Amino acid sequence: MKINAKVAATKDEWVQMAAETILSRAKQAISERGICSLVLSGGSTPAPVYTALARLGTEQNLDWEKMAVFWGDERCVPPTHPDSNYRMARETLLDHLPILPENVFRMMGELDPETAATDYEGVLNAFFHQREKRFDILLLGLGSDGHTASLFPGIDGLHETQRWVIPNRYPYSDTWRISLTYPAINQSRYIFFLVSGDAKAEVVANCMEHPQEPPPYPAKGVTGVDHPPVWLLDADAAKMIPISD
Ligand code: 6PG
């Protein structure tokens, strides 16, 4: 099975590789369409990549005013909460760049989940009103249970075919999330999984197994349309990948 993976020898090289990959696609999008729609992933893994992206983009004169920033998922907490994906991105990326405030599209985690999801659906419809409805770059993380964004094993949202944004319960505690769905994710022009560390090695290898229906790991439901997702890995996360047959 062909594995769409780029593997860096060390964590630091992985950070640089991921930032350069994102930057390259951002420049392409701006060149082709005058704007780049970038969907950020949450959790802790991407934080150093966002810091590197801010530095590298500025060094390479990326036109930040032509970047539109979205989120793939959000915890149902205020934007100032330590668990907020928006807060993590603001601290590592947005606060350091001249991105236009009107081009930062935050999921309103402080609202009730259904209202926040419906609100974000409307935000996306408005942004794509006179554009082809597909993100340019969509970043994803990977949980040890094979979840991505906030699409967790066994949730109804895995079967959503119409809505681009849904609320769903976080299965491991009495909390809620807002998440993009497979229709939104797979329509993206370029999808990148950002995964590092040996704690993710086993789940990465499991996700590389031949696709099965239904995907036992939600991340396996990420297929893309033009391009399959590319896995940006460090050697630790890649160490159990099956040798491609
Ligand atoms: C979130 C993310 C989620 C994350 C994985 C990995 O809101 O937590 O969107 O999908 O990417 O859970 O999280 P870590 O990077 O913290 O391991």
pLDDT tens-digit map of 111-153: 999 999 999 999 999 999 999 999 999 999 999 999 999 999 9
* Distance from the alpha carbon of residue 41 to the mean position of ligand 1, in angstroms: 7
Residues 6+ apart with CB under 8 A from 82: none
pTM of the model: 0.97
Residue of the CA atom closest to atom 15 of ligand 1: 45
Give which of 158, 148, 157 is closest to 73, Cα–Cα: 148
Closest atom, ligand 1, to C-alpha of 199: 17
Residue 188 has what DSSP assignment? S
CA of 140 to the centre of ligand 1 (A): 8
Contact indicator for 238, 197 with CB cutoff of 8 Å: no
> How far does residue 143's CA lie from ligand 1's centre (Å)?
6
User: For residue 212, what pLDDT is reported?
Assistant: 67
Q: Which residue matches tokens 């860096």?
A: 8
Mean pLDDT of 14-18: 98
Confidence check: pLDDT of 1 > 80: no
Pocket of ligand 1 (CB under 6 A): 41-45, 72-73, 85, 141-143, 147-150
44 Cα to the center of ligand 1, angstroms: 7
Are the C-beta atoms of 84 and 75 separated by less than 8 Å?
A: yes
